Structure 1
Amino acid sequence: MAQPPFAEVSDLAAWVGQEIPAEDPRATAVLLAASQVVIAEVGPKVAEDWAEVPGDVSAITVQVAARVWFNPQGLIADSIDDYSRRWDQGGESGIYLTSGERDLLSKYRTKAKGLWALGTTRGDDCADQYLDVVNADTPGTLEEPIPFLPPGA
């Protein structure tokens, strides 16, 4: 089941300082897309568990939507005759979260994102190159050992 946006069209209208009808399809689409970016950051399970969308999540959704509302093509510069305007790109385009927005949403994540190293060696305990396997059905008895490749082999 698709979730409704994390903010109302009236919230977006207030933020951008424009009158936007409540049923405006573009505003609804932008808010839905912004909400999906937030869901991708915090995880779908977290978002489903909210009885009420937290205020900071709603505010971030509106900020993301406003960026797209004002600059749907993701332009970094525009000029007409002798008038020119340049937007702060920040290396991103389209619908995205800034690093500050990601930091604010980090408290809702259930698991850390990123890379890490997971050690897989067992030290001297496995120097004979076999791991003992305990029989779960008969406690205290062992099954045939599993071959183990020691570090550096």
Structure 2
Amino acid sequence: MSDTRAQAATYAREAQRLRDAGDHYEALSRQRRAVSLLRDVGDTAALAHAIRHVADILVEADRPDEAGAAITEMLALYRAAPDAPPLDVANALRSAALQAEAIQDSDTAWIFWIQARARYEELDALFEEMTGLPGNPGIAEADAHLKRLRG
């Protein structure tokens, strides 16, 4: 791992720790540092992943309008990274759906949840391997959101 990549990973870990502690301001600061470093690395999928976390932090911090630009960039990067891990792509669509819900755009949220659900559906074996349990939490979450959006 290059020094730049290692430093970005350190910032991302710090951001997650701060996010878990509820300190969205500092988490966002660290995650943006990780993004900045990854822009120079040339790994499109890693950059998209880091930007997704920026968007997620903004949505959690009740700043979903600000997350729109990150969502747009992240989705464009994933479209340009055909080798991106399938779980990352599914999670990116989930993030886009959550952001759309947060800004009260139910039609867009519906579309992203349908797409996320389809991606998660392809990952049953991965989830069972990761958790050791039957069932797919990605599908369950998508179904719950789709049901709520229908109602």
TM-score between the two structures when normalised by the length of structure 1: 0.28
User: Structure with the greater relative contact order (CA < 8 A, sep ≥ 6): 1 or 2?
Assistant: 1
**Radius of gyration: which is bigger?**
1
